[in-house]
Amino acid sequence: DVVLTQTPPTLSATIGQSVSISCRSSQSLLHSNGNTYLHWLLQRPGQSPQLLIYLVSRLESGVPNRFSGSGSGTDFTLKISGVEAEDLGVYYCVQGTHAPWTFGGGTKLELK
Amino acid sequence: QVQLQQSGAELAKPGSSVKISCKASGYTFTSYYISWIKQTTGQGLEYIGYINTGSGGTNYNEKFKGKATLTVDKSSSTAFMQLSSLTPDDSAVYYCVREFGVGYFDYWGQGVMVTVSS
């Protein structure tokens, strides 16, 4: 199975600070059809995960544009440009290129 | 609006089975797969598999073959997951998720906590 390694495991930030989370894959996530099926989720405390970004960099409807995604192949990054209080929680990357779909271990974003 | 409403928490004994439901509303049920995901503190998020809500066809993560059985009732827009031969390792929160394919999970149920204990 594909292993997704997220760093850092915990991230402390102040409101307004910009932060980045890395997701590295044990295999290239470039599908033979040319798409890269790497997505990002946020799980707020006590809630179900929600989709933030799909296909590496596409913002899900209703997600603020302070979130952005980038990367290719095996290295991917989620950036938050100006953390807000509602952004606190655990971020996960997930891949849908190689079955079975797998998730990163999560990055917990907390207030400094 | 799209909603996935899951059944309530389960307390089960080792060796028994439980069946969790996931009732969908707010969209055409048979247009999307329903996937199931396990969340534990130790193992994080794990993909169990999906059911094609139109055909009833299923695809399982090898790890969960023999453990999980996915079914669907199109008449009530409800998906089910049965977990069998329960052990304490099956204690977790289980989510049903609408999947567009390729790991694109756009709507999640509220989760069901399953506790396996004697």
8 Å CB contact between B109 and B4? yes
Is B44 in Cβ contact with A105 (below 8 Å)? Answer: yes
Whether the per-residue pLDDT at B43 is higher than 90: the answer is no
| Predicted confidence (pLDDT) per residue in A53-88, tens digit | 999 999 999 999 999 999 999 999 999 999 999 999
Residue A112: what pLDDT? 87
Q: How far apart are CA B38 and CA B93, in angstroms?
A: 6
What does the pLDDT read at residue A60? 96
Amino acid B75: pLDDT: 97
- DSSP state letters, B33-81: EEEEEEEETTTEEEEEEEEETTT--EEE-GGGTTTEEEEEEGGGTEEEE
Q: Can you tell me the distance from the alpha carbon of A55 to that of B115, in angstroms, rounded to the nearest whole number?
A: 35
Mean pLDDT of the B53-59 span: 95
Examine the pLDDT at A3 and tell me if it is beyond 90: yes
Residues with Cβ within 8 Å of residue A42, at least 6 apart in sequence: A49, A50, A52, A87, A89, A90, A91, A92
Tell me how close the Cα of B43 comes to any Cα of chain A, in angstroms.
8
Task: Say yes or no for a CB contact (<8 Å) between A102 and B105.
Answer: no
Q: Is it true that the peptide bond before A9 is cis, omega within 30 degrees of 0?
A: no
Mean pLDDT of A41-46: 96
| Residue B88 main-chain phi, psi, to 5 deg | -55, -30
> How sure is the predictor about A40, in pLDDT bands with cuts at 50, 70 and 90?
very high
Q: What is the pLDDT of residue A96?
A: 96
Counting residues of chain B whose pLDDT is more than 90, the rounded percentage is 94
Mean pLDDT of A31-52: 96
Chain A interface includes B59 (CB < 8 A)? yes
pLDDT greater than 90 at residue B41: no
The answer on pLDDT for B82 being more than 90 is yes
Mutate to test the interface with A, among B2, B35, B36, B47 (most CBs of A within 10 A): B47
**pLDDT tens string B5-36:** 999 999 999 999 999 999 999 999 999 999 99
CA–CA separation, B23 and B78 (whole Å) = 4
The answer on pLDDT for B102 being more than 90 is no
